[in-house]
Amino acid sequence: MKQEPAAQNSPPASPPSSQPLSEDDDPQTLWIFGYGSLVWRPDFAYSDSRVGFVRGYSRRFWQGDTFHRGSDKMPGRVVTLLEDHEGCTWGVAYQVQGEQVSEALKYLNVREAVLGGYDTKEVTFYPQDTPDQPLKALAYVATPQNPGYLGPAPEEAIATQILACRGFSGHNLEYLLRLADFMQLCGPQAQDEHLAAIVDAVGTMLPCFCPTEQALALV
């Protein structure tokens, strides 16, 4: 899966379209870009998947989660995409075809939109192995207009919140570490300073929160 810096060899970014795709469009083929929990747990049927990146966005732990990784009293922190001209976000694009399209959109509407507060946006996805052959993909993005949006905070504060929260899908710490593991698999060209800073902060704080045995149990 690793390759020499694909991001540096990719073509210049073209402004991503803001026209969302909907279940009613019923396309024969659709690519769905995942950059958070979708990279390790899509939970819908798909025909193909590719690791790669989108330009013009940075990943941030700025969205609150009161279901999957937190609760109403203690919202967890999950990622969204922030428009950033210099940004580059790595993830996985999944291809769904035929009946898979409507089933995937129906499932993701509940998981990402109803429970997560995310909207849809079309982005340009560059596969790691063939960055000269970009694809149009659907991405779920949480904007400041949704009620669960938490916005920016120091990485140390985000780390503290992540260590304290758990939801129906598991501990918020698991979410963070699985995402960090994925980025390591992508290779050294896949940089995410925001994510790395939160992981470092968690590593410093974790022994203070619980003994080693309990810390391992969280993940």
Conformational region of residue 155, where left means phi above 0, alpha means psi within -120 to 50, and beta covers everything else: alpha
Q: Computed over its alpha carbons, how large is the radius of gyration of the chain?
A: 17
DSSP state of 114: I
Q: What is the Cα–Cα distance from 128 to 5, expressed in whole angstroms?
A: 9
Q: Which of 112, 122, 156, 193 is catalytic?
A: 112
Q: What is the Cα–Cα distance from 49 to 126, expressed in whole angstroms?
A: 12
Judge whether 112 counts as a catalytic residue.
yes
Q: At 212, which amino acid appears?
A: T
Q: What is the Cα–Cα distance from 53 to 50, expressed in whole angstroms?
A: 10
As annotated, the active-site residues are 112
